[in-house]
A = this chain, B = another copy of it.
Amino acid sequence: MDDPAPDLSLRDAVAALESLYPLQSAAEWDRVGLVTGDLDQPVRRILFALDPTLDVIDEARTWGADLLVTHHPLLLRGVHSVATTSAKGASVTALVRAQIALWVGHTNADVADPGVSTVLADALGLADQRPLSREGENAIGRVGVLAAPVSLADFADVVATALPATAGGIRVSGDPGAEVRTVAVMGGSGDDRFDDVRASGADVFVTADLRHHPVLEAREEARGGRPFLVDAGHWATESLWLASARERLLSALDHVPGATRVETRVSTIRTEPWTFVVGANAARADRAAPDPGGVS
């Protein structure tokens, strides 16, 4: 009739997560794994979210989660205080008081297969996927091909449809009418990967957090041509992974005692920081007529 087993323990939940996303495959500078909690505590509700913000922690507390799984680390830089005067301290304090364990899968989730990059590549319909580059044993990013060539403008619509909508939208650099087929992707911040993208022969690179100088240098190096660039937003390019992680964790827990009673949920909070955008496309570069400059 009912499940006679005790509750799933945090120890078992963490073991399942780390079998999927081994800690040793994280980058050396990264800080992944268990951040709060006691391995002996029971786990009945698991919330998945991209960032462990105060709102997300509040959602977890309200829903009664005892395990929060996030992609981004809470304590990437070491802390010397968890007093509530800082946001990091307030977050740790809120988690500990509500007895919510936090587990982070960051670069170890990026390089997993399926992981952040492959989920993104799959969502864009890329075939023949291969790593964008390699660091040691790990595959960084992915390169694949679309079923058929499309214009850059149409490709931007493909991206917009595949990813969750946001206020920030999707920024594109390149000729809207140019054809693209080979696509490189890397969830999150990708502006230190332009050498790899050029070497890959990709027509377009989908990533996020692109800043003026690296992007302009990449566009100069491309002499205005391929590879084009799509900044699809840090949250949007990575958040698709949450459903994958939830599904894989449930499979991994399949025969673990007590796991059948565990409830899981992906957070409804968009942790992209932008609330709204003004004046986008006010001067689309592909249509802009040169202003007459003043001459003295």
Which A residues are closer than 8 A to B by beta carbons?
31, 33-39, 51, 53-55, 72-73, 75-89, 91-93, 96-97, 101, 153, 156-157, 159-160, 164-176, 188-189, 208-213, 215-217, 219-221, 223-224, 229, 231, 234-235, 243, 246, 250, 262-286, 288, 290-296
Contacts A83-B101, A268-B290, A269-B290 known; A156 to B278 CB distance under 8 Å? yes
Partner of A172, one of B38, B189, B264, B274: B274
- Measured between beta carbons, the chain B residues less than 8 angstroms from A175 are 275
Q: Which residues of B contact A188 (CB under 8 A)?
A: 212
- How many copies the complex holds: the figure is 6
Kindly identify which residue among B37, B73, B174, B220 contacts A53, using a CB–CB cutoff of 8 Å.
B220
Residues of the B chain whose Cβ atoms lie less than 8 Å from the Cβ of A264 = 295-296
User: Which residue of A81, A166, A224 has the most chain B CB atoms within 10 A of its CB atom?
Assistant: A81
A269, closest chain B residue (CB): B290
Min CB distance, A6 to chain B, in Å? Answer: 19
**Nearest CB of B to A197, in Å:** 15
- Residue contact A216 to B273, C-beta cutoff 8 Å: yes
Known: A167-B284, A169-B279, A170-B278. 9 other contacts (CB 8 A): A35-B81, A35-B82, A36-B93, A79-B79, A172-B278, A209-B211, A264-B295, A265-B294, A280-B281
Q: Are B263 and A295 in contact (CB under 8 A)?
A: yes
- Contact A172-B277, Cβ < 8 Å, known A165-B282, A211-B234, A293-B268: yes
Can you name 22 A-B pairs with beta carbons within 8 Å? A33-B81, A34-B85, A39-B84, A54-B224, A73-B80, A75-B81, A79-B80, A87-B217, A87-B221, A167-B171, A167-B280, A168-B171, A215-B273, A246-B296, A262-B296, A263-B296, A265-B296, A266-B293, A266-B294, A268-B292, A268-B293, A276-B285
